[in-house]
Amino acid sequence: MPAMGASPLMPFQRIELDGVAAAVQEQFGSGISLERGSRGVVLAIHLKEPNVLADLSKALFWDVGCSFGGLIVEEHADRWRLCYLFLARGSGWVEVVLEVPATVQAVPSISAGVHAADWFEREAEDLFGLRFEGHPRLGDFILHDQIWPEGVAPHRKPQRKSVNVHQMQFRRRPNPDWRPLLVVQDPGSFAMPVGPVYEGGIGESLHFMLETVGEDVLRAVPRLFYKFRAVEKIAEGQGVSDVLLLAERFAATSSFAHSLAFSLAVERICSLEVPKRATNLRVLLAELERLRHHAGAITGICESTALAVAASQAAIIEEELLRASCKFAGHRYLFGLNTPGGLRRDFVSRDFETLIGAVDRAIEDLRELEDRLHFTSSFLDRLEDVGVVDPSKARDLNLVGPVGRASGRGHDLRRECPYGGYDSYTFETPREAEGDGYARLRVLFQEAYASAGLIHQSIERMEPGPVVALCESFIPGAALGWAEAPIGAALHWIRLDESGIVERYRAITPSFNNWLGFHAAVEDFAFQDFPIILATFGLSATECDR
Amino acid sequence: MSFWFWHGLKKGVRSTHYPRKFESAAGVSPGRPVATEFDSATEAVLAAANCPVDAIVARGSAAEVKLERCIYCQHCHYGNPHLLEWNSDYEWTMAALGPGKYQPLPGAYHRSLHVMVVDAGDCGACLHEVKQLNNPLYNMHRLGIFLTATPRFADVLLVVGPVSENMRVPLLKTYEAMPTPKRILAVGACAINGGVFGRAFMSAGGAASVLPVDLLVPGDPPPPLAILHALLAVTGRKNPVAQMASLEGNS
Ligand code: SF4
């Protein structure tokens, strides 16, 4: 393994729940009331008035050391319910709940203290029309200003989801005068638009304005949500099984992780005990997905540096893993397997043998590839010191997944907030301190190997038994489910009514989180490095846009 | 570096022989559900009830499949008593307007077909499968099919995704920038009729509601070889299979 960088990596430190409670009690005692959380949340902090929100969030994030999970906005008939999720490492999810009457139109913004909340507030402002007071820049986020007029809040309840926006009266013609916001104002500076339909190759639809003064690009901020299909809105009013199909299909490269997080949430509502065999199989499938995803991400990095032979070899490994998934589970992207209560099908030992063979071959090829890449100086030159996000910035922006881990963060839900039986497995969470493109590549390789190890472990401990438990009791309400998707932490939150219909569905995705921090890696870089930085981040637009 | 050269040589040629020979490696395709004969009409109805998107239609004691609607949820594949038979092929491209209504591009395009891919809100799977066509195992260049960077050079517009509202204008602009003659492929269940997203407030419900689509490639996602089959059908080197059902709800 390559040597760790200069700055030492902080060891994993558990944040005790009592400590969290004591800290907030002491500082905000009169403004809050504490409650034991339920259904995925371990501690709920209810705010009696909005004005402590910003300080409390800041204290949780910076003083207590929690990481930020996301914001869930809910519209009830008489009130807004805003729930801010924080992760107390090793202990579980802490929610900060603010309820205000439905007539209220503005709440305090927390993003001055917790920068990672920035986009969550912009999203809520666009979709619910809630204003976040003190937020520096609202609007033109999900609802692109050149299409949408001001004052439309499509996620509010009265907005019907079945009417296509195109037919609504309020829709304007594309506004010819619309211009993106440019920050760099130096004489001679100009902006180069990239996307949403890519000039070259196959890319997801997203857009960048590369603000440059010539050779060096000073700033590149992604403009996303071209692919926004309003998954959360479509889910409202549907049954759990239909929403499961959606959860599985909005981001196919991590579909198993998302359907798993969703199923875990439903299982909490139905108090379902997932059979042992299903838990093991889920670990196996989730790690198979991670392995395949990382092989794909490595292919992308090799392609971005135009190292054709390596890219081809990596692409072959990825395709072989896709085929192995298909042979094993009947679908190349592992659709149709998860269901609340377990899995929809079982496997026989011959399936495992074939799969293990394919996984071992893939790992062997990956190791060979990694060895060669380590000795290809022209390749390393393009990755080293490119797109650097240093550990303090990564912490500030709350980066998750392999990208965060390459910048010294230990954020891995499998370890920090174990779910689905991961606490009984032994595995490494690789970390690097440099935070450059090369560190991200190394983390991808290490994680791929760790996933293969987990697949082996899960097969070794496979016991016969049922693979699904049926739902017996069900109390309407909300629950949180989470999983460490290949790109990072994925959170799915649902509220069900008495008849099991989804009232509100919220998917918080790692790509959303990391796109927010992407700008940190693209400050003042050479234009030709742009595709490389993009590839080493390996983010998905569809997962972010939903 | 020279070792990459030797490394490449050592691995040898790995490309499939399709379309010269049928590719039968396991896992190249998830296959597809096909019409199945049951013992009674009731059973056929029960089999049809399994499908969350009405892709299975009971006709007498048979259950027929409208593959263009199938989202590969696998409910008819395992996990309940009324299952359909599954084929393991991948040649299932169909003409959007029905058999006989499709005109392939003329012979000049046979060995030089340029494809423009537009992601109109797909989930990443279809796009990924299109991308696999460029890898050495499929290597579509050997068939004279190339991805192009600009619509000005494109003969085929390959659309994936249900056409999200924010992509409507970029998609139309891409289409308009292409020279004629051109053909449009809707790849994947979402591009055909919106898939799980359907026609909803930010989803147009498929490419056909925005553009004159020529060929449909069912699947969620269709495997690379199914997409390759469609691209070969664009120039008439393969034929679309007979339409399995009309595209209701897409007009
Ligand atoms: S696999 Fe396709 S045909 Fe079968 S039940 Fe699912 S959607 Fe319907």
Interface of B with A in 187-246 (CB under 8 A): 195-205, 220-221, 223
Nearest Cα to Cα of residue B157 among B205, B212, B194: B212
* pLDDT(B179) > 70: yes
Alpha carbon distances (Å) from B189 to A5, A90, B124, B194? 47, 41, 13, 7
CATH of domain B94-234: 3.40.50.12280
- B121: chain A residues, CB-CB within 8 Å: 205, 226-229, 542, 545
Please state which CATH class domain A231-545 belongs to: mainly alpha
* Most confident by average pLDDT, A146-160, A515-529, B71-85: B71-85
pLDDT digits (tens, 9 = 90+) for A299-308: 988 888 888 8
Q: Does A542 touch chain B (CB under 8 A)?
A: yes
Please give the Cα distance from A544 to A226 (Å, whole number).
Answer: 10
pLDDT in tens, A63-77: 888 888 888 888 888
Would you say the C-alpha torsion A242, A245, A248, A250 has a positive or negative sign?
A: negative
Contact A227 B11 (CB under 8 A): no
For chain B, domain boundaries = 32-87, 94-234
* Count of alpha carbons within 13 angstroms of residue B35, beta-carbon side: 10
A159–B5: do the CB atoms touch at under 8 Å? no
Going from the Cα of A475 to the center of ligand 1, the distance in angstroms, rounded, reads 30
Residue-wise pLDDT tens digits, A429-483: 888 888 888 888 989 999 999 999 999 888 888 888 888 888 777 778 888 889 8
CB within 8 Å of chain B, chain A residues 512-541: 540
Answer yes or no: are the C-beta atoms of B83 and B47 closer than 8 Å. Answer: yes
Look at residue B246 in the predicted model and tell me its pLDDT.
Answer: 40
Question: Which 8-state DSSP code applies to residue B96?
Answer: T
- CB contact under 8 Å between B162 and A229, yes or no, is yes
pLDDT at A168: 61
When scoring A175, A204, A227 by the number of chain B Cβ atoms within 10 A, the one with the most, hence best to mutate, is A227
Count the neighbouring beta carbons within 10 Å of the beta carbon of residue A25. 14
Which atom of ligand 1 approaches the CA of B50 most closely? 5
pLDDT the model gives residue A4: 42
Rounded to the nearest angstrom, the distance between the alpha carbon of A339 and the centre of ligand 1 is 16
Contact A241, A502 (CB under 8 A): no
Cα–Cα distance measured from residue A452 to residue A504, given in angstroms and rounded to the nearest whole number? 36
Query: Residues near B21 by Cβ (< 8 Å), separated by ≥ 6?
Result: none
- DSSP track, A139-175: SSSSS-TTTPPTT--TTSTTS-SSS-GGGSTTPPPP-
Strand, helix or coil for residue B247: coil
Distance from residue B75's CA to the centre of ligand 1 (Å)? 6
C-alpha span between A370 and A408 (Å, rounded): 21
Query: Would an 8 Å CB–CB cutoff place B128 in contact with chain A?
Result: yes
| CA A457/CA A425 separation, integer angstroms | 7
Buried b (16+ CB within 10 A) or exposed e, A214-228: eeebbbbbbbbbbbb
List the single residue in A with minimal CA-CA distance to B151: A199
Residues of B in contact with A140 (CB under 8 A): none
- The answer to whether the beta carbons of residues A492 and A480 sit under 8 Å apart is yes
The C-alpha R_g of chain A, in whole angstroms, comes to 23
From chain B, the residues in CB contact with A246 under 8 A are: 196-197
The distance of Cα A136 from the centroid of its chain, to the nearest Å, equals 24
Look at residue A40 and give its three-state secondary structure.
Answer: coil
- The H or E element spanning position A403 is helix A401-405
Name the residue at shortest CA distance from atom 6 of ligand 1. B73
Which residues on chain B are in Cβ contact (under 8 Å) with A163?
Answer: 201
Cβ separation B4–A376 shorter than 8 A:
yes
Please name the residues in contact with A499: beta carbons below 8 A apart, sequence gap of 6 or more: none
Percentage of chain B beyond pLDDT 90 is 2
Residue B153 C-alpha, separation from nearest chain A C-alpha, in angstroms:
12
Contacts of A423 (CB under 8 A, 6+ apart): none
Antiparallel, parallel or unpaired: β B215-217 and B94-95: antiparallel
Q: Atom 4 of ligand 1 has which residue's CA nearest to it?
A: B76
Distance A330 CA to ligand 1 centre (A): 13
A333 and B221: CB-CB below 8 Å? yes
pLDDT at A518 over 70: yes
Which protein residues touch ligand 1 with a CB less than 6 Å away?
A: B 33, 50-51, 53, 55-56, 65, 70-76
Contact A402, A510 (CB under 8 A): no
**Is B124 within 8 Å of A252 when comparing Cβ atoms?**
yes
Beta strand extents in A301-387 (DSSP E only): 338-339, 342-343
* Distance (Å) from the alpha carbon of A294 to chain B's nearest alpha carbon: 14
d(CA A35, CA A41): 10
Would the CB atoms of A323 and B27 count as touching at under 8 Å?
yes
Is A302 an interface residue toward B (CB < 8 Å)?
no
pLDDT at A5: 41
Inter-chain residue contact A250 with B119, CB threshold 8 Å: no
Task: Please report the pLDDT score of residue A292 as a whole number.
Answer: 92
For residue A483, the cross-strand partners are: A490
Residue B77 alpha carbon to ligand 1 centre in Å: 8
Question: Which of B73, B84, B244 has most ligand 1 atoms within 8 Å of CB, for mutation?
Answer: B73
- On the question of pLDDT at A167 being above 70, the answer is no
Q: What percent of chain A has pLDDT over 70?
A: 92
Tell me whether A238 touches chain B (CB under 8 Å).
Answer: no
Going by C-alpha positions, the residue among A47, A6, A1 that lies closest to residue A27 is A47
Question: Could you give the residue ranges of the DSSP H alpha helices within A202-275?
Answer: 231-235, 240-249, 255-269
Write the CA distances from A203 to A3, A538, B49, B120, integer angstroms. Answer: 34, 12, 38, 11
In angstroms, the CA A369 to CA A316 distance is 12
A373, containing H or E segment: helix A349-374
Facing residue for A204 by CB, picked from B127, B168, B204: B127
pLDDT (tens digit per residue) in B20-46: 777 777 888 888 888 888 888 888 888
> CB distance A205–B170 less than 8 Å?
yes
Interface of B with A in 52-111 (CB under 8 A): 52, 71-75, 77-79
pLDDT range class, residue B248, cuts 50, 70, 90: very low
Q: How far is the CA of A87 from the centre of ligand 1 (A)?
A: 39
Residue type (1 letter), A36: R
pLDDT for position B64: 85
* Ligand 1 centroid to residue A123 C-alpha, Å: 34
Give residue limits of the domains in chain A.
10-180, 181-223, 231-545
The yes-or-no verdict on residue A118 having pLDDT over 70 is yes
On the 0-12 / 13-18 / 19+ scale of CB atoms within 10 A, A178 is exposed
Q: What is the reported pLDDT for A150?
A: 67
* The predicted structure's pLDDT at residue A172: 54
A-chain residues within 8 Å CB-CB of B119?
197, 202-205, 227
Identify the band that residue A290 occupies on the pLDDT scale cut at 50, 70 and 90: very high
Closest Cα in chain A, distance from residue B100 (Å)? 32
Mean pLDDT across chain A: 82
Rounded to 5°, the CA angle B55-B56-B59 comes to 140
Q: Is B117 on the interface with A (CB under 8 A)?
A: yes
Rounded (10°) CA dihedral A392, A398, A403, A404: 60
- All residues of chain A having their beta carbon less than 8 Å from the beta carbon of residue B196 are 242, 245-246, 249
DSSP conformational letter for B77 = T
pLDDT in tens, A119-139: 888 888 888 888 888 877 777
The answer to whether B37 touches B162, Cβ cutoff 8 Å, is no
> Each residue of A356-365: pLDDT tens digit?
988 998 998 8
Q: Do A174 and B127 touch (CB under 8 A)?
A: no
Which CA distances in Å does A242 have to A532, B28, B250?
38, 28, 21
Chain A CB contacts of B8 under 8 Å are 309, 312-313
pLDDT value at residue A291 = 92
Indicate yes or no: CB of B77 within 8 angstroms of CB of A330. Answer: yes
Query: What pLDDT does residue A307 have?
Result: 81
Reported as a single tens digit per residue, the pLDDT across A371-392 is 888 888 887 788 778 888 888 8
Domain covering A10-180 assigned CATH 3.30.460.80 in the classification: yes
Q: HSE of A332 in the Cβ direction (CA atoms, 13 Å)?
A: 27
Burial of residue B20 (CB within 10 Å: 0-12, 13-18, 19+) is: exposed
Instruction: Decide which of A203 and A339 is more confident.
Output: A339
Mutation test residue for ligand 1: of B32, B36, B68, B72, the one with most atoms within 8 Å of CB: B72
Residue B249's pLDDT is: 37
Could you count the other beta carbons within 10 Å of the beta carbon of residue A399?
32
Q: Is the pLDDT of residue B5 over 80?
A: no
Question: Chain A: residue nearest B166 by CA?
Answer: A226
Residue B245's pLDDT is: 44
* CA B219 – CA B214 distance, rounded (Å): 16
Per the CB < 8 A criterion, the answer to whether A311 and A303 are in contact is: yes
Chain A residues whose beta carbon lies within 8 Å of the beta carbon of residue B134: 202, 315
What distance in Å separates the CA atoms of residue B45 and residue B136, rounded to the nearest whole number?
44
* CA A238 to ligand 1 centroid distance, Å: 18
Interval B207-246: pLDDT, tens: 888 888 888 898 888 999 899 989 888 888 887 776 554 4
Rounded mean pLDDT, A184-210: 76
What pairs with residue A212 in β-bridges? A190, A217
Phi, psi of A209, deg, nearest 5:
-110, 110
